[in-house]
Structures are given as structure tokens and as C-alpha cells.
Structure 1
Amino acid sequence: MTETITNAVAVREQGPGAMVEHYKDDLAQVMPSHVKPDTFVRLAVGVLRRDRNLAQAAQNNPAALMGALMDAAQLGLTPGTEQFYLVPRKTKGRLEVQGIRGYQGEIELIYRAGAVSSVIVEVVRQADTFRYSPGRDERPVHEIDWDVEDRGALRLVYAYAVMKDGATSKVVVLNRAQVGKARAMSQGSDSPYSPWQKHEEAMWMKTAAHRLTKWVPTSAEYMREQIRAQAEVAAEQHVAPPVAPQQVIDEQGAEDDGPIEAEFVEDDTAGWPAAAQAGSGARA
């Protein structure tokens, strides 16, 4: 036990980048097969080295950092990008790492299910022309004057998918008030480090893309169907059914109408590597 704690403290003292590299194998165990652990870790370490505030947040609470990276790894999304943001968040007076799925991450999960040929997510600004009548129009008509110097403030955001059979999914259209409600439900959205402050347009798009996942298959749903089918075959053959991957379990409730940043890291450090737990004792 003493040796384990000593090793954990030693890894932590080397900095958050060293800790991420140290636990590459733990991250690799939960990644989908298409993700390369070396690339994932290199990108995560790179974003920590580029952002001093993020590095300090990771040093303050390694458990929160590892929780965010585990979430990204399970989803097969790239950390530190618009697929999966890593941002510092002030909690009880100190910075800690928060993982937030971005709009490109939402779109990636839709594509990965294999049911759609394209996903369209766009914002509408004041100078744009936008027409869409549900029940009459199959898809929105969005006209942009690309010569105008300033298209104006954000007004609407919409998202839909074209299925592989050519059909159009439900069209999601949200106005400023609806996006504002989603933002208000997102913990830490008023923080200067939040992507709502730094990447407002991208977060509008994330809001619409997240709502679209209610109407089109996502990779999590696809995996659940595969597991269900395998279980039925196993039952017929009288063999043990497959165990659901952790990713499927974790995404069970991800497509509700709740907070758009519902992928927040919890404080429970049970089950995390010893190095991550060693740095979490100061958190109440």
C-alpha cells in the first residue's frame, strides 16, 4: 500500500502530462478499436502543455482530468478539439478540468452508427434568409449573402440528417431563447473558460446536434442493438450473452432534453487509478 501511494505521488509530481502517459493502457482498455492510444495520449498531453490554466486545473485535481479523458476515450472522441473540449472550471475557488462534448463529437457519433449519409448543422444570422415549414417543407431553405461584410447576430440554429435511403430526418430548429435555456442549464456556462464564452457559434451548433440525436441513430444506440442481437443468438445457442461495453452503459441517458453539457465529470474517484485518487483528497 505504501509503495502504491509513493508511486502515485511520484507520477503526480512529474505533472499532468506524465500522468496521462502513465495511464495510457487504462485509457486504451475503454477505447473503440478505431482509436489509436498513442495518438489520443499525444493530443491530450499537447493540449495540457499549450494551456497553462488547463495544466494547473489538471494538477489541482488529477481525478477530474482522468475522468474527462476516460469519457472521451469511451466515446472515441479526440480530446482538446471541437469533438471533446477540455476546459478549466472553477470549483470551490480552484480550477479543475471539465470535459464537454462538442458539436463535432455529436456529429461523429451520428455518422459512426452508419445510418446517415450526411449531417447538416448550421447557424442562421440576422442577415440570412431562412424558411422552413414543418409538414410542408422536407428541408430548410437557408440563403446566405456571402458578400455582406457582417451577417449579424446569431438568430437560429438547425440540424438534420440525410439517411442512407435518401429520406430526411426530423429537422431540429432552435431560436435564441431555446438555446439560451439550454445554456442556462449548463453548469459553468458563465465561466470565462467555458466554450459558451469562447466558441458561442460552435455551442449553438452543439445544442442543435445534441437534440438531433433523439431522432437519428447514434453509435451508442447501434452498439446496444448489436448487443441485443448477439444476446438473442446466444440464448438460442445456450451460451453466455455478451457484456455491454462501458461506453453503452454510460451513454444510456445522453440524448435527453437536459443540460447540453451533461457530460460533466463527477467527483467520485472510486475505481480510478491510484495517481488520480491521490490528487483528489482536497475536494469536498
Structure 2
Amino acid sequence: MTDNTISNAVAVRDNGPGAMIEAYRADLATVMPSHVKPDTFVRLAVGVLRRDPKLTEAARNNPAALMGALMDAAQLGLTPGTEQFYLVPRKTKGRLEVQGIRGYQGEIELIYRAGAVSSVIVEVVRQADRFRYAPGRDERPDHEIDWDASDRGPLRLVYAYAVMKDGATSKVVVLNRAQVMQAKAMSQGSDTPYSPWQKHEEAMWMKTAAHRLTKWVPTSAEYMREQLRAHAEVAAEVRPAPAVLAPQPGGLTVTNDEDEGPIDAEFVDDVPSAGWPAAAQPGSGARA
């Protein structure tokens, strides 16, 4: 166990999970996109824990699960404790632990951040609504809502599509109740009272459709990889030619350490954080 891990474990015991989040501020900042402010991120994360005693209990039970969820949110550049990225307590082996769940606003944010779309539409259809869409015939769904109705009825469908910057319409995703319930059944802890499926059902229907839409439109992760490749290609094109060295007296040869040839590299999606406990590595807290 490293000194950093020990000090943060002591912080959890003595001052609570909020102190540990503060202690890991620098680690979280190293993986955040440039538009995210570490101070704001940490303040919001600490605030959501303080407002929810069950979440605080879950964080105390397994600090690594908490930090894994926060690391996932930080890497995605999403706000924890909101409909971008839920933090919820979940029972694991009889005790509460923190689980991170990407919300529908988070899915939409990642689509917008790629810069390829001008708008994203995600809507639920209730029993009293009028809805028509024929793939191959209709470019976009025709959805009419009676806004004066006191009760539009139960959830029936959900749909999502994006309007691209050039005005084209992306693939339209339409899911019925059975398809949404299938997605819910695959989500860990969806039947627990703490799950957003229980507290925010409409939002989770929208999240399911928005998540399916990400298969058909660029997301921020894809966009960032393309930008990295483009920068690498430009750098390779403008790399200066190695200098020609004049013969040295006495038969000595001068070597240039910078001219040892190209170094192979690969692009990776996950950025490890320095000094991070193995149990709290990215990917340990979030569920789709």
C-alpha cells in the first residue's frame, strides 16, 4: 500500500469521503477534459455526498468504488450527482457501495461535444400522444402532444435522432416499452429503490434511446481520437530533416540522440492516474 493510499484511507476514517475526494483533486484533474474545472467538479461531488446519507454510507463502505465512479465521470467530463452522471448507492454482498451511472444528459453532452451535430432530439411518447414514423418514408418522426391534457398516460415509446451540421438527419432510434425494459433488466441494480430507474424512469427511457443513438453519430471520444491522429500526422509532416554532421577530427564520430529513428506509439482510450489504487482504476464504478 502506498503512502498516498494510506493517507487517503485515514482521511475517509477521520474526516469522511469528502476529505478523500479533496485529497484526490490532482489525480482527478489529470484525466479531465480541458473545459472541466477541477475545483467545481470536486465541490459538486462533495456536495452530493453530504446531501445523501445513504450515499455517504456507501462511500465509507468502499472508498475505491466511489473514486472509481468519480474517475469515470472525470474522464468523460460529466458532472457527478446530476442527470449527466448519477451517483447512487447499490447493495453489493449485503452492503451499500457507490455506483456511477451515465444519465441521458451525459449521453447528449458527449454527442454535442464532438462538434458534428447542431441539435439532438430525445423525447418520450405517452399513450395519449400521436406518433407516426415510417423508416425509409419519413425523415423524422411526427410527434404531436396535447399539452392541455391533464394526463398523457403511461410511457409507450421513446425516440432519439440528431440533426447534423449540414442539415442531414441521423438514423432515428425508436424503442418500445419491451425494448426499454430489456435494457433495464441488463442494468445492474435497476430493481433497487436507489436506482434512477426507480426514481427517474422517464429520464432513464431517454438515456436508453440516447445511448443507442451514440452508435450512429460521432461522440467526443471518437472526435478526440481523430484530433490526436490529425495532430500526429501534421507533426510527422513538418518534422525537420536530421542535420548532416561534418566528419570529426581524430576519427571520432558524434551521435545525435534525437536521430535514433521513429518511436512506435499507439493511441489509448483510458488514461491511468498516477499513484491510483488498483481497486479504484477507471471503469470500476460506472455502468451504461
TM range (shorter): 0.7 to 0.9
Aligned counterparts, 1:237-252, within 5 A: 237=238, 244=267, 248-249=269-270
Letter of the 1:59 counterpart: R
TM-score by length of 2: 0.83
1:123–1:156: 8 Å Cα contact kept in structure 2? yes
DSSP-derived class of the 1:29 partner: helix
- How much has 1:227 moved relative to structure 2? 1.8
CA–CA separation in structure 1 for the residues paired with 2:67 and 2:5: 17
Which of these two proteins has the greater Rg computed from alpha carbons? Answer: 2
**Correspondence for 1:62:** 63
Aligned counterparts, 1:93-132, within 5 A: 93-132=94-133
**Correspondence for 1:34:** 35
Structure-2 change in CA distance of 1:18 and 1:144 (3 Å): same
Match of 1:272 among 261, 271, 276: 276
- How much has 1:243 moved relative to structure 2? 6.2
Structure-2 change in CA distance of 1:11 and 1:107 (3 Å): same
**Correspondence for 1:255:** none
1:121–1:205: 8 Å Cα contact kept in structure 2? yes
**Correspondence for 1:9:** 9
TM-score by length of 1: 0.85
**Correspondence for 2:254:** none
- How much has 1:241 moved relative to structure 2? 7.4
- How much has 1:272 moved relative to structure 2? 2.5
CA–CA separation in structure 2 for the residues paired with 1:100 and 1:57: 15
CA–CA separation in structure 2 for the residues paired with 1:122 and 1:9: 44
DSSP-derived class of the 2:217 partner: coil
CA–CA separation in structure 1 for the residues paired with 2:74 and 2:264: 25
2:33–2:77: 8 Å Cα contact kept in structure 1? yes
Runs of at least 5 residues in structure 2 that lack an aligned partner in the other structure: 240-261, 282-288
2:4–2:275: 8 Å Cα contact kept in structure 1? no
Aligned counterparts, 1:147-226, within 5 A: 147-226=148-227
Letter of the 2:44 counterpart: L
**Correspondence for 1:263:** none
Structure-2 change in CA distance of 1:105 and 1:237 (3 Å): same
CA–CA separation in structure 2 for the residues paired with 1:4 and 1:120: 45
Letter of the 1:8 counterpart: N
- How much has 1:271 moved relative to structure 2? 5.7
**Correspondence for 1:74:** 75
Letter of the 2:69 counterpart: A
Question: What does the per-residue CA deviation read over 1:124-156, in whole Å, with 9 as the maximum and x for residues that have no partner?
Answer: 000000000111101001000011110000000
Identity of aligned residues (%): 82
CA–CA separation in structure 1 for the residues paired with 2:280 and 2:156: 43
DSSP-derived class of the 1:165 partner: coil
Question: What does the per-residue CA deviation read over 1:159-194, in whole Å, with 9 as the maximum and x for residues that have no partner?
Answer: 000001111100000000000111111111111111
Structure-2 change in CA distance of 1:73 and 1:5 (3 Å): closer
CA–CA separation in structure 1 for the residues paired with 2:56 and 2:212: 32
2:65–2:279: 8 Å Cα contact kept in structure 1? no
DSSP-derived class of the 1:168 partner: coil
1:82–1:103: 8 Å Cα contact kept in structure 2? yes
Count of matched residue positions in the alignment of Structure 1 and Structure 2: 257
- How much has 1:2 moved relative to structure 2? 8.5
- How much has 1:230 moved relative to structure 2? 2.5
CA–CA separation in structure 1 for the residues paired with 2:128 and 2:22: 48
2:28–2:74: 8 Å Cα contact kept in structure 1? yes
Question: What does the per-residue CA deviation read over 1:250-269, in whole Å, with 9 as the maximum and x for residues that have no partner?
Answer: 8xxxxxxxxxxxxxxxxxxx
